[in-house]
Amino acid sequence: MALVAGVDSSTQSVKVVIRDAETGELLREARGTHPDATEVDPRLWWRELSSALDGFLDGVVGLSVAGQQHGMVALDAAGEPVRDALLWNDTRSARDAEDLVAELGGPQAWADAVGSVPLAAFTVSKVRWMARNEPENAARTHRILLPHDYLTWKLAGTPAGAATDRGDASGTGYWSPAENAYRFDLLELALGRVVDLPVVAAPHEHVGTIVGTDIVLGPGTGDNMSAALALDLLPGDVVVSLGTSGTAFAVSETPSSDASGLVAGFADARGRFLPLVCTLNAARVLTSTASMLGLDMDDFARAALSAPPGADGLVLLPYFDGERTPNLPDARGTLHGITRHNLTPAHIARASIEGMLCGLADAVDALVDVGVTPRRVLLIGGAAANPAVAQVAATLFAVPVLVPTPGEYVADGAARQAAWVVSGSAEPPAWRGPLTDAVEFAPTPHAGIRENYADARTRMHSDGTA
C-alpha cells in the first residue's frame, strides 16, 4: 500500500495526515502547536513540523505542504530569517497597502495587474512595511518565501531554488493569476529592488524529494486552495470557512478582477481560479464570547438557540481584531441595539454567531457580484462543528447549508495533491470526499437579521469607532 502525507501549517498549529494514495483512507495523524502571535520565527514552524514527522513517514511515497496564506518569510543569503515572519493577520502594514494602491494608480490598476487590491494581509504590503520601517533587514533580504514555501524548501534540504504553486503565489500581490507570471515591477515597487522568489510549479508537479529519502515533494499550496481540493468543489459550491479567519470562496474557470477590493482574485490548486473574500474574525468571536459569558461551547450553543432569530434586535459587529473585509484594520467590536430585554447571555450568544455569519454572508454577496452563482453553502472550519452555527446560518442564506463530514480539510487537500503528484495522472485521484455524508440544513431566512447588521455597520465611522 502506497501512502501519502498532507501537512497543514496554520496560524495556530501544524497537522499531518497519512492517507492511502489510491483510496484516500485516513490511516494516522500527528500535530504540533504554533505560537499565538502575528509574527513568528519560521524556524519554530520547522521545529514543530520536524517533530511531528519524526518516525511518522513509514511507507510514505509523497508529501505536500499547505499553509496559511500571505505570510512574509524574508531570508538572507545564507537562508536564515532576517526577522520573524509577518503573518496574514498582522495589520501594521495597513498604511503601506494604502500607499502601494495609490502609487500604482488606484484600486483598478491593482485589480488589472494581479486580480486583487492589496490590503494589510497581503505579502506585498508587508514587504513595503519592512522596507519603510526596517531598511537594514530589507537590505539583507535575499529571498522572500511564503510559509508553505519555506517548509517545502526546508524539507528538500534548502536547495539553491525554492518552489511554490499558483494558489499561494496569487496571494502575494506580485503574481498575476491571469498572466500566470510574477509582476517583478510590483515587488520592486514595494521593496525598492527585486529579490529571489520561488519558481511557480504546475499543480501536480514534482518539485523535489525530502532530503535523505525518496519521498516525493509536491508544490503545496495555500490553506484555502487546499481545502477546495479536499472538498472537490463544483461550480455553485460556495465554501464558508470558519477558522481563525473567516473566508468565503468558490471555484471559477475564469480569473476575477474586483477593484472594490472585497474579492481577492486568487488561483486554485487545480489550474483554475478561486475568487475569495476573507474576514479577520471568525471562530475566536465565538470562543471569546463564550469565555466572557462563562459558558463551555455546548452550553454556549444551547444558549444561542434559546434566543430568537435576530436576538431581538441585538447586533454584534465582530471586529475584535480589526477587520480586513470591510477594510477597517483599526476597528473594534461593538454591540448595538441593547435593551433591558435583550441584554442576556442567550441574546449575546446568538448575536455573536449572527455577527460572525453576517459578515460572511456579505462576503458571499461579494462573490455573487463577480459572477459566482451559489447553489449551496458548505460550512467548514472549527466553528462549523458548533451545533448552533449551521442552524443560524440557515436563517441567513437563501440556499441549502451543508456541513461536510468533519476533517482536516487543509491537510487532506495537501495529501490529495501529493497522491496526484505521485500518480502522474492528468487529474487528482477520485477519493471518497467529505461531502458524501454531509448534513444538510434547508434555508429558513429570517427578515431583519442582515438588515439590522447592515444598519449597525453603516453607523460605524471609517476610523472604526461607533
Query: Which residues are known catalytic residues?
Result: 223
The count of other CB atoms within 10 Å of the CB of residue 443 is 15
The count of other CB atoms within 10 Å of the CB of residue 171 is 28
The count of other CB atoms within 10 Å of the CB of residue 229 is 29
Cα–Cα distance list, 200 to 114, 169, 203 (Å)? 15, 7, 9
* Alpha-helical runs (H) found in 215-296: 223-231, 283-293
Among the listed residues 200, 115, 185, the one whose alpha carbon sits nearest the alpha carbon of residue 149:
200
What are phi and psi for residue 317, nearest 5 degrees? -90, 115
DSSP 392: H
HSE of 456, CA atoms in CB hemisphere, 13 A: 25
Q: Rg for the chain (alpha carbons), in Å?
A: 21
Q: Is residue 15 helix, strand or coil?
A: strand
Distance, in Å, from the CA atom of 380 to the CA atom of 396, rounded to the nearest integer, reads 16
C-alpha cell belonging to residue 412: 487532506
Distance, in Å, from the CA atom of 371 to the CA atom of 351, rounded to the nearest integer, reads 30
DSSP 120: T
Q: What is the residue type of 348? A: I
Could you tell me which residues are beta bridge partners of residue 144? 74
C-alpha cell belonging to residue 156: 528538500
